[in-house]
Chains A and B, each alone.
Chain A
Amino acid sequence: EADIYQTPRYLVIGTGKKITLECSQTMGHDKMYWYQQDPGMELHLIHYSYGVNSTEKGDLSSESTVSRIRTEHFPLTLESARPSHTSQYLCASGSGLRYTFGSGTRLTVV
């Protein structure tokens, strides 16, 4: 079944650690996105990609980086995690008015 997958679902790590949040989709979408969302708050676009080897920063400044080497894979990396990075990170794919979201990664940096 075509879908979008995010791992890990929950992550607690120490300050200064490097982490990569995984996102993969099997829907063949060219466009993929990363959103950051605090509990009960709005979604903020932090990165997006129009296709392989295309990555752009979103509206919300983020210290994370992304890569798009394969159409189906759009990982997000934090080189040195800080408590201010504690949030939920949502990956999505799609175009037009219909996006499909992954289940999200709830990140806690202690």
Chain B
Amino acid sequence: GQSLEQPSEVTAVEGAIVQINCTYQTSGFYGLSWYQQHDGGAPTFLSYNALDGLEETGRFSSFLSRSDSYGYLLLQELQMKDSASYFCAVRDSNAGNMLTFGGGTRLMVKP
């Protein structure tokens, strides 16, 4: 099976940089992706990594190290609207190539 670990809660101030970590255990790893979900809303896709390294999309970047079974989402120049839950998800070839989601990290951005 698969398991993903991410912190349950992170707090940061507006304008700061925050890193949300995700470690995973899976037998047929195919890639790691990140989703943002505001309260009452639906998850929306942010970024993915299939290979090691850093992917940058505006203020958001995602990193993957397959040898360490570890990735992170980096949010820069935090804004109040970034307050949301962030989920990492792994694609596992031994689980029908579907995504399995972590428990989510609730990010609170304070003024």
Interface positions of A (Cβ within 8 A of B): 31, 33, 40-43, 45, 48, 56, 59, 90, 92, 95-104
Contacts between chains A and B (CB distance < 8 A), count: 54
Chain A nearest CB, measured from B102 CB (Å): 7
**Number of B positions contacting A (CB below 8 A):** 26
The 5 closest A-B pairs by CB, nearest first: A97-B48, A101-B42, A97-B33, A42-B103, A43-B101
Question: Taking CB as reference atom, which chain A residue is nearest B42?
Answer: A101
**A14 CA to B68 CA, complexed, in Å:** 49
Does B41 belong to the interface (CB within 8 Å)? yes
**A59 CA to B95 CA, complexed, in Å:** 10
**A45 CA to B1 CA, complexed, in Å:** 14
Chain B nearest CB, measured from A6 CB (Å): 9
Does B12 belong to the interface (CB within 8 Å)? no
- Indicate if the CB atoms of A103 and B87 lie closer than 8 Å: no
Given the complex, which residues of B lie within 8 Å of A95, measured CB to CB?
A: 97
Quick one: given A42-B87, A43-B87, are A97 and B99 in contact (CB under 8 Å)?
yes
Question: Taking CB as reference atom, which chain A residue is nearest B33?
Answer: A97
Quick one: given A33-B98, A101-B42, are A96 and B31 in contact (CB under 8 Å)?
yes
Q: Pick from A42, A59, A98, A104: contact of B42, CB below 8 A.
A: A104
Show 15 A/B contacts (Cβ-Cβ < 8 Å), sorted by A: A40-B85, A40-B104, A40-B106, A42-B104, A43-B87, A48-B98, A59-B100, A90-B42, A90-B43, A95-B97, A96-B97, A98-B33, A100-B45, A102-B42, A104-B41
